[in-house]
Structure 1
């Protein structure tokens, strides 16, 4: 199972998270390096090599508008501590080698090594969390970061706030040689993917898979098996990939959320993977867990019974 998860983008975090060190990390260490995040973008440097560079030293970080004192400690590697910090998009011609690139594009185009992409994703999740939790949800007073950025404290009511992750199930329903793919209302033209939805309070993963498939596509499912997971930093979800064995196959689509859904054979999906579908249909890129679910189906992995 772990090997399948490691195929997913953002999932190869190789640094030591070093949680015991968090209270003592300040961002002022000489060997500190930083990933710089600006909204949905990361500031990465052209290197002339296959991959760009996402880690910047302290002087570069300050020059680019990042504040090391406001950084979140991500962990240590063999060189030293690594932090995540917000920074503005560079303007003018002062930084010709620095590019602010959308993180989805970074993953899709393979612009960073797997470990640096995971660091950028973690930095994005944490800096976004800090931006959204500047005030206490309990009393409304301002909060302050602590524990190396892994907690925010309210001095007024003494509540401690911790980063949260929203669990999402993403599932591929299978009926023998066919898989259910759907188009969300906001998908790019031609894109078909696996169905997905947030896990609700009181649900198991399996319950959520069955509910979402029934609510969105009108089908009943029996056996559900875990496939892999993927951190998804938009803003901070954990995608829990599953395969589901369909008991019924007649579709009743929720048109408020789904533009289209259909059962596709392996042969049809093969043309979609190769961008040769006559109708211009395609599936998500390899950076998305949906692609890995579909690839497992195409490879006939023994995840569900026939």
Structure 2
């Protein structure tokens, strides 16, 4: 197996500088600091720098004094002498910053081209913006909430309670049999002949290993054991953390007994490495930004031919 450095989004180079979030003078300080740079976001799309011939894709990092009013500010942290802030802009403000729509890219598109430093900023920026958009009201009393702690919490305007961003844990599992074939499933929401690893959310009060066993039994009707954690990947679509595992079909279980649940999973297939190679023109596999692709290539032993297998398709 190959060991890539890490899944996309998982290598952070930014010091989140959490201690500064409680500073009541942080926002004026960021406004006055010539080293401050702003990540601009509009409708879930981040602003990329203008490309010139031969240049690598980069975030457009803006100076705070040049910007119109934003609907949300969140302090992202520091790195190499700079401090970074997320600002979310409405339609008119975004158009005044950059009217060219192609410069505003969704995270899925940007993830395939940006480097680790930029992804270290974009992933928390999008995740925070998603959380704020969905949590404008208190879950206890229904009153409005307002951002506090540099965008890393919201406070209820009635009961004064604090609400913090939540991340939904999900397990994603590379299941193999005794012949080292991998089990891939086709989800009911996907186009035909698209296959990926099996995955599901962790339920309340459930351990991660137990979630792996339960999800595979629910979706494929087989028992697995030898469950091992491999790596994780932030997945802010809108607020998940993918926890990557490997597992082996349980002793005595027959690979042929794997049956899709018929609701979430419509088809299941066991693939050897040779069969993956032979099927590259017929099936789509997870896109290059997903931990599913990372785990699959780790098992495969090398990068999977991008000319054949699901280059443009990306889900979990």
Q: TM tier, shorter chain?
A: 0.7 to 0.9
3-state SS of 2:47 partner: strand
Deviations 1:76-117 (A, max 9, x none): 112321111222454499644961112112223x1x212202
Aligned 8 A contact 1:138 1:159 in 2: no
1:240-251 maps to which residues of 2 (within 5 A)? 240-247=243-250, 248=253, 249=255, 250-251=257-258
- Measure the CA separation in 2 of the matches of 1:105 and 1:190: 22
CA RMSD, 1 decimal: 2.3
Confirm or deny that 1:201 pairs with 2:204.
yes
For normalisation by structure 2, the TM-score amounts to: 0.84
CA contact (8 A) 1:144 1:152 kept: yes
Q: Which residue of 1 aligns with 2:146?
A: 144
Displacement over 3 Å in runs of 4+: 3-6, 88-98
Is 1:47 paired with 2:47?
A: no
Aligned to 2:273: 266
**Residues 211-258 of structure 1: CA deviation (Å, up to 9, x unaligned):** 000001111101100111000011111100000111222122111111
User: Relative to 1, partners in 2 of residues 1:150 and 1:39: Cα closer, same or farther, differing over 3 Å?
Assistant: same
1:252 to 253, 259, 262: 259
Q: Judging changes above 3 Å, is the alpha-carbon distance between structure 1 residues 92 and 143 closer, same or farther for their aligned structure 2 residues?
A: closer
- Count of aligned positions: 287
State how far apart, in whole Å, the 1-side matches of 2:67 and 2:191 are.
35
75-84 vs 31-40, greater mean Cα deviation: 31-40
Q: Which runs of 5+ in 2 are unaligned?
A: 303-316
Which 5+ residue runs of structure 1 have no aligned equivalent?
A: 301-306
Q: Which residue of 2 aligns with 1:164?
A: 166
Distance 1:94 1:33, change over 3 A: closer
Matched residue SS, 1:28: helix
Question: Would the aligned equivalents of 1:9 and 1:118 in 2 still touch at CA under 8 Å?
Answer: no
TM-score by length of 1: 0.86
Inter-partner Cα distance in structure 1 for 2:278 and 2:106: 28
